[in-house]
Structure 1
Amino acid sequence: MFRLPDAARSCLVIALLSAVALLALTHAGAQTRRARRAAAAQAKATPKPSPIVVPRKPTQQSSAPRATPTPPRVFVVPSQDEVPPPPPPTPTPKPTPKPADEPIDESEVVRVTSNLVVVPVAVTDSAGNAVQGLKKEDFRLEEEGRAQQLEAVGDADQVPLDIAVIFDISSSVTKNFEFEKQTAAGFLKEVLKPIDRAAIFTIAEKPQLAQPLSSANTAMLKLMTIPAAQKATGTAFYDTVATAAKYLDKNAPERNRRVILVISDGEDNFSNDVRDAMLAEGKGGATQAEAMEHQRSLHSKAVQKVLQEVQRADAVFYSINPSGPGIRLNRISQRAQDQLKLLADSTGGNSFLPPKLEDLTTIFRQIAAELRAQYLLQYLSNGNAQPGKFLRIKVATPARTDLQIRARQGYYKKG
C-alpha cells in the first residue's frame, strides 16, 4: 500500500478543512441574502408610520471587523409599553445643616411653655412705699414647699397691662359717685401707657360690660358717661367680679399683666347663688341664728368661687371701699370688707378703706406706683402636677425681713 509522507498528509488535511469552511461560509451568505430579500419584500407590502428621529445613543461596537461601513440608521419610536423608563435624576447633594437649623422638638417646646410660671410681686417698706432695685438673688420662691430656681426677674413696666375697672352703681354707694368717677379716670390716665388697655364693668342687678378693652382715653370717656342708679337696685357683686375675671382670661393675652380694680363696698344681695338661697330661706321656718349662720356659709362659698375665677385668670385683685370707716359698725358691711381683703391677699393685690373721700386720690396713686414697680418672677416649675391642679406658692426676701411682700398664693396649672 502506498503511504504518503507525513508532510504531504498534513497539507492534504489543511486543504480539506479549508474547503469545508469555504462551503459553510458560502451557504451562510446565501441564507443571509435570502433573509434580506424577504424583509425588503415585506417592507414594501406594509406601510411604515412617519419616522421620528431621536438622538442617537452610543452603541457597543462589535469585535468582528466589517467589510464596509454601515450607513446611519433612522429609528422609529417604539410603543409606550416598549419605552424603557428614563434613568432617575442624580440627586443634588445637600449641605449638612448647622446645629441651629436642626428641627425643633415640638413636644419639648410645649413642655417648657406649660411649665413657665410668671408671678407678679409687689414689695413695699413699712410706710407702704414701693421698693425697687431688688435682684433675682434677693428672692426665694417655693411651690408646694419645693424651692424653685428663678430664671429671671422681669420689669413690669415693660409688659402690657390689661385692667378691668368695676364700678358699683347700685344705690348703696352712689352718694359721691361723680367724685369717684373723676378720681378713677385720673388713675387710668396716670397708670396706662399706649400699650395698655382698660375695660369698664358696672355692678347692679346683673353684670354689665360698659366698655371692652380699649385705650386709656376711650375708657376714661366712657367712665365719665356712666350714670348712677336712679332707684334702689340689687347688687350682684360676686357675679360681676367673676364675669370680669372670665373676660380677662379670654381677651387679655397670656403674656400681659392682668388686674381687676373694684370700687365697691363688696356687699352682695343679688348674685344668682345668693338670691336663690335667700328666697328659699325666706319661705322656711329657720330661726334668726340659723338664718345668720346660713348667710355666712352662703357668702363664704360664693366668694371662694369668685376667688377661683380670679386665680384662673392669673389676675391681681385691688379694691377700694368708698363707704368710709363707719363700715365697722355694720356686721354685714364688715363681712363684705373681709371678703374684699381675702380676694386681694390671695392674688397679690391690696384692699383699701379710706378714712375720708379725699383720700381716694392718694390711694389711686399708690396703686399706680405698685403696678409700675412690680417684680415679675419667672421660673420653670420642677413639679409634675396635672393640668388644672391648684399649686400653692410662697415668695420671700430672706435677707430683707423688713420688707412687705405681696404675691399670689398659688396658681392653676395650665394645660
Structure 2
Amino acid sequence: MAARLSFNKILFIMLLLLISIPILAQDEDKPVKVTTDLVTLTLTVTDQYGRYVSGLKKNAFTVYDEGQEQEITFFTDADAPVSIGILFDISGSMSGEKIQRARKALERFMNISHPMDEYFLIAFNSRAQLLLDRTRDSEALLRKLTLVRPKENTALYDAVYLGIERVTRGAHQRKAILIISDGQDNSSRYSFKEVRNLLKETDVTIYSVGIMDNNDSRDPIGLQGQAFLDELSSVSGGKSFYPQTSVEMDEIFERIAVELRNQYSIGYIPKNFQPDGRWRKVKVKVKPPKGMSRLIVRTREGYYATPTIKYK
C-alpha cells in the first residue's frame, strides 16, 4: 500500500511539473522592462585654440541639471567605438565637383576613425534611402557611394529624421551623425520642428559639413539650410563646418574623426527626478589643470524628463 501511495505521489508531482514548465518558459520569453533615470552626456573638451584636451579626471567636471549640481556616477574617457550615421546628399544641387570632394573627404574620415566603428549609410535626394545598415566595412560603404548619381530634389529633414531613428538602435553607447549636404531642403515630409524635437529626445551628436559654393551662401534657401545645420549641431553638442576648399574639407573630416576618438562620457541620476516630460537644461563646467588656461566643453543642451526604458 505504501509503495502504491509513493508511486501516486510521484505521478502527481510529475504532472505538476509538466503543467508548470510551459508557464515558466512563457514568462522567460517575455522581455523584462527596466526603467532608469540615468542621464548620459558625451563631452568634447578643447582649449582656447580648439585643440582637444584628453586625460582629465572625473573631478575636473561639474554637472548642473536645472541649475542644481549633480553627482557624476559614470565616467570614462576611453577611445571607444561609435555608432555613426552617414547622411550623404545625392540631390541635383550636389552634382559635379561637390560630390567628388565629399566622397574623397569621407574616405579620409573613415581611415582615421576607430576600426570598430559601426556605420549606417543614408543617401538622400527626393527621398531618404537606407543603403547600408550596421556595418563596419568602410570599403563597402565607399563603394556604395561610387554608384550613386546626383539628381532630383533634397529631402534633408527626412534624412536626418531617419538617421536619428536608425543610429539610436546602434550597438555602441555613443552615437553620432555626420551630415554631408549643401543644406537645401525642398522635398521633406517632416518639418524642421519635428526633426529638432526628435533629436532632443536622444543623446545623438550631430556634425554637419555644408558643401556650399558662393551662390549657396547668398541664396535664401542656402541660408535657411545653413541655419538648420547650425541648430542641430548646437543642440546636440556637435559642430557644423563650411569648407571653402578641398584642403579645408579634408582637414574638417579629419578633425571630426579625431574628435570622436577624444571624447568623455559621463552619467548621473538627477536629484529629485520627476518623469513629467519637461525639458531640463544641462550645463557642464570643466576645471583646467594647473598651468592650463580656460577650457571649453561642448555637450547637448538638455533632455526631456522621461525615464529611459530598456528591454532585457
Which bracket does the TM-score occupy, shorter chain normalised?
Answer: 0.7 to 0.9
Letter in 2 for 1:200: L
Q: Which residue in 2 is equivalent to 1:138?
A: 60
SS, match of residue 228 in structure 1: coil
Q: Which residue in 2 is equivalent to 1:167?
A: 88
Distance 1:216 1:127, change over 3 A: farther
Would the aligned equivalents of 2:235 and 2:301 in 1 still touch at CA under 8 Å? Answer: yes
Q: Which residue in 1 is equivalent to 2:228?
A: 339
Q: Which residue in 2 is equivalent to 1:236?
A: 155
Give 1:391 deviation, angstroms. Answer: 2.4
Instruction: State the aligned residue count.
Output: 277
Question: What is the aligned-residue RMSD (CA, Å)?
Answer: 2.5
What are the superposed Cα offsets for residues 294-323 of structure 1, whole Å, 9 maximum, x if unpaired? Answer: xxxxxxxx2221122223232100000111
* 1:309 has 2:198 as partner: yes
> Which of these residues, 113, 123, 128, is aligned with residue 207 of structure 1?
128
* 1:226 has 2:115 as partner: no
* 1:402 has 2:294 as partner: yes
Give 1:325 deviation, angstroms. Answer: 5.1
Q: Which residue in 2 is equivalent to 1:252?
A: 170
Give 1:239 deviation, angstroms. Answer: 0.8
Give 1:355 deviation, angstroms. Answer: 2.1
More strand by share: 2
Q: Partners of 2:4 and 2:118 in 1: how far apart?
A: 70
Give 1:79 deviation, angstroms. Answer: 12
Distance 1:388 1:174, change over 3 A: farther
Q: Which residue in 2 is equivalent to 1:178?
A: 100
Q: Partners of 1:172 and 1:384 in 2: how far apart?
A: 47
Letter in 1 for 2:94: V
Distance 1:130 1:78, change over 3 A: closer
Q: Partners of 2:276 and 2:214 in 1: how far apart?
A: 43
TM-score, with normalisation over the residues of structure 2? 0.81
Would the aligned equivalents of 1:185 and 1:224 in 2 still touch at CA under 8 Å? Answer: no
Task: From the CA coordinates, give the structure whose radius of gyration is larger.
Answer: 1
Q: Which runs of 5+ in 1 are unaligned?
A: 1-76, 86-108, 274-301
Distance 1:408 1:226, change over 3 A: farther
Residue range with higher mean Cα deviation, 395-404 or 122-131: 395-404
Would the aligned equivalents of 1:318 and 1:350 in 2 still touch at CA under 8 Å? Answer: yes
Give 1:334 deviation, angstroms. Answer: 1.4
Distance 1:152 1:272, change over 3 A: closer
Residue range with higher mean Cα deviation, 308-317 or 392-401: 392-401
SS, match of residue 118 in structure 1: strand
What are the superposed Cα offsets for residues 319-340 of structure 1, whole Å, 9 maximum, x if unpaired? Answer: 0011145543222211211111
Distance 1:139 1:324, change over 3 A: farther
SS, match of residue 79 in structure 2: helix
Q: Which residue in 2 is equivalent to 1:289?
A: none
What are the superposed Cα offsets for residues 128-147 of structure 1, whole Å, 9 maximum, x if unpaired? Answer: 21111222121111112211
Would the aligned equivalents of 1:348 and 1:408 in 2 still touch at CA under 8 Å? Answer: yes
SS, match of residue 281 in structure 2: strand
* 1:266 has 2:183 as partner: yes
Would the aligned equivalents of 1:192 and 1:216 in 2 still touch at CA under 8 Å? Answer: no
SS, match of residue 122 in structure 2: strand
Distance 1:193 1:223, change over 3 A: same
Q: Partners of 1:303 and 1:395 in 2: how far apart?
A: 27
What are the superposed Cα offsets for residues 342-387 of structure 1, whole Å, 9 maximum, x if unpaired? Answer: 1001001000001213211100111011111101112122232216
Give 1:258 deviation, angstroms. Answer: 0.6
Q: Which residue in 1 is equivalent to 2:70?
A: 148
Distance 1:219 1:319, change over 3 A: farther
Q: Partners of 2:296 and 2:2 in 1: how far apart?
A: 93
Q: Partners of 1:323 and 1:78 in 2: how far apart?
A: 93
Q: Which residue in 1 is equivalent to 2:46?
A: 124
Give 1:153 deviation, angstroms. Answer: 2.2
Letter in 2 for 1:245: I
More helix by share: 1
Distance 1:259 1:384, change over 3 A: same
